[in-house]
Amino acid sequence: MTAISIDKTKQFFKKTIFFDNEPTPELIAILLVYFVQGILGLARLGVSFFLKDELGMSPAEVSVLMGIVAIPWIIKPLFGFISDGLPIFGYRRRPYLILSGLLGALSWVAMATIVHTPLAAMGAITLSSLSVAIGDVIVDSLVVERVRHESIHNIGSLQSASWGASAIGGLITAYLGGFLLEKFPPQTIFFITATFPLITSLVAGLITEEFQGQPSNWQTVKQQIKSLRQAITQKSIWLPTAFIF
C-alpha cells in the first residue's frame, strides 16, 4: 500500500470508528472500559437460570435480590466524591479503575466456584454491581474532563464513541448470551465473564493522569456531599427528578 492509501485508511477509521477523535492509547483505554460494561451482560441470562434452577429462588425472591444489588448504582455519585477527595498513591482515576476490574473479576469467579446459597449469590452479584458502578463513574469523569477541551467541531463525538463501544459489547452479549447458555453451564459462563473486568484493570495504565502529590482529604468529600445535598433539596431539582422516577 502507498503512503496515501495508508493515510486514507487511517482517516477512514478515525472518522467512522473514533468519531474524528485522535485514536490515542488513552482513548482506546476509555472505549475498552465502556466495551467491558456492555459485554458484562453476557452472564445476565446465566444468572437468571442459576438463581431459578440451581438455587431454587422464586421470582419474588429474585426481584428482591435484584433490588438490593442495584444499591451501588443508587449511591454512584458517592464514588465520584471519594475518587476526587481520596487519591490512591497520588492518583484519582487509575487505581480506582484497577480496583473496579479486580472486584469484578473476583465477583464472577466467586459466582462460578463458591456461591451455593441465595445469600452468597446476593453478595457476589452486589460486588459485581459495585465494581461496574465504580468503573462507570470513573470513566464518565474521564470523558467529562476531556470533553471540556473539545473543539466546536467535535462536540459530542467522544460521548458518541463511548456509547458506541458500550453498544458493541451489548450486541455481542445479545448474540452470545443465549448461545453460550445452550452449550455450557452457568458456572462456565461466569468464568468467561470474569475475564472481561480484568481488561479494565489492564488498560488503566494507559490513562493520562497527573500525580496529585497530596494526601487523602475526607474534608473535600464531605464538602462535595454537602453541595450535592444542597442541590437536590432545591425544588427546581427534586420535582423533575421525582416526576421521572
Question: Hunting for cell 456492555 — which residue is that?
Answer: 38
Q: Does domain 42-238 have CATH number 1.10.10.10?
A: no
- The Cα-based distances of 200 to 27, 68, 76, 134, 212 in angstroms read 13, 25, 18, 11, 22
Domain boundaries, the chain: 42-238
3-state secondary structure of 209: coil
Question: pLDDT tens digits for 63-77?
Answer: 999 999 999 998 888
Task: Give, to the nearest 10 degrees, the angle between helix 118-147 and helix 157-183.
Answer: 160
pTM of the model: 0.84
d(CA 137, CA 35): 15
Task: Give, to the nearest 10 degrees, the angle between helix 157-183 and helix 25-39.
Answer: 40
Least confident interval from 26-40, 67-81, 95-109, 183-197: 67-81
d(CA 4, CA 8): 6
pLDDT of residue 57: 94
Across all residues in the chain, what is the average pLDDT? 85
Burial (CB < 10 A; 0-12, 13-18, 19+), residue 190, is buried
In the predicted model, is pLDDT for residue 48 greater than 90? yes
d(CA 37, CA 167): 9
Question: pLDDT tens digits for 100-152?
Answer: 999 999 999 999 999 999 999 999 999 999 999 999 999 998 988 887 766 65
| Beta-strand runs (E) in 151-198 | none
3-state secondary structure of 88: strand
Task: Give, to the nearest 10 degrees, the angle between helix 118-147 and helix 76-85.
Answer: 60
Q: How confident is the model at residue 155 (pLDDT cuts 50, 70, 90)?
A: low
3-state secondary structure of 14: helix
- The Cα-based distances of 71 to 13, 54, 58, 80, 128 in angstroms read 39, 25, 21, 15, 12
d(CA 191, CA 34): 20
